[in-house]
Amino acid sequence: GNSVTQMEGPVTLSEEAFLTINCTYTATGYPSLFWYVQYPGEGLQLLLKATKADDKGSNKGFEATYRKETTSFHLEKGSVQVSDSAVYFCALTDAGGTSYGKLTFGQGTILTVHP
């Protein structure tokens, strides 16, 4: 079956530091990959996505590249802000077959950014 593994958290950084959250996946087909963000007390919001190999998703200064050869989709940001403090989820959906588009999530990484 499909699975997603994220780096263990929590991650604590100072403002303007560089962020990397590692994500690797296992999938039987050709998945689409997503990063979702959950701010305290809120639901999940899509941060960025990539639907095929070598695609780069980007949004709000965050980037991730779909690497089929290493089955990875690492999230990066060059300079984090206090407002980036949240839980970040890597996820995949395997369109087609019997998965019916369901999302398989990683375990989530808590990010705290200090001023």
Partner 1 sequence: DTAVSQTPKYLVTQMGNDKSIKCEQNLGHDTMYWYKQDSKKFLKIMFSYNNKELIINETVPNRFSPKSPDKAHLNLHINSLELGDSAVYFCASSPGPNSNQPQHFGDGTRLSIL
Interface with partner 1 by CB under 8 A: which residues? 32, 34, 36, 38, 42-46, 49, 51, 87, 89, 93, 95-96, 100-105, 107-108, 110
Angle (CA) 14-75-52 rounded to 5° is 170
We find the least distance from the C-beta atom of residue 78 to partner 1, in angstroms, to be 24
Q: Which is nearer to partner 1, 61 or 96 (CB)?
A: 96
Q: How far is the CB of 3 from partner 1 (least distance, A)?
A: 12
CA-CA-CA-CA torsion sign (89, 23, 35, 64)? positive
Among residues 4 and 80, whose Cβ is nearest to partner 1? 4
Pick the closer one to partner 1 by CB: 43 or 115. Answer: 43
When the beta carbons of 41 and 115 are compared against partner 1, the nearer one is 41
Are 79 and 58 a contacting pair, CB within 8 Å? no
> CB of 16: closest distance to partner 1 in angstroms?
26
Q: Quickly count: other Cβ atoms within 10 Å of residue 115's Cβ.
A: 7
Confirm if 109 and 64 have CB atoms less than 8 A apart: no
| The residue type at 39 | Y
